[in-house]
Amino acid sequence: MAVAGTVAYAALAATTRVNTVPAVVAVAVPGATVAALTLRRPERLVAASPLLWRTTMLWAVVALSGLLWEAGTYFGELTVGQYEHPTLSVLLEPSLQHPVVRFAAWSLWLMAGWRLARR
């Protein structure tokens, strides 16, 4: 049932045009759903270990680097130009023009969110 719902939602969301209200809603609905599911579940205690600490720091650096890249390109866009310092969405836009690729990207994004929420 979850797979059918994911496929149906991905097919519907893949039909939205980029940078429109329906596209924003299509992203916000599963994002809010996963956030609500994640906040509702009880917290599990994980034993601290050096491996866990290193892994956490590595992913924090990766996430922070991505956020700084996006913020820098967003604010740099105001003075320089979008294609001289592209955001990730500008870099991915040409490859996501094909409907089948958009559907596959939506499916992967939804499944990754579901997987994260279930952990």
pLDDT confidence of residue 78: 59
pLDDT digits (tens, 9 = 90+) for 104-114: 988 888 888 87
Give the span between the Cα atoms of 71 and 84, in whole angstroms. 15
What sign results for the dihedral spanned by CA atoms 82, 84, 86, 92?
Answer: positive
Contact status, residue 82 vs residue 90, Cβ threshold 8 Å: yes
Q: How many other CB atoms sit within 10 Å of the CB of residue 79?
A: 7
Domains of the chain: total: 1
Query: Domain of 94?
Result: 2-118
Kindly calculate the radius of gyration of the chain based on its CA atoms and give it in whole angstroms: 17
pLDDT digits (tens, 9 = 90+) for 61-103: 999 998 888 787 777 665 555 666 677 777 788 888 888 998 9
User: What are the φ and ψ backbone dihedral angles of 21, each rounded to 5 degrees?
Assistant: -60, -45
pLDDT digits (tens, 9 = 90+) for 41-50: 677 766 778 8
Q: What tokens does 29 get?
A: 């609905």
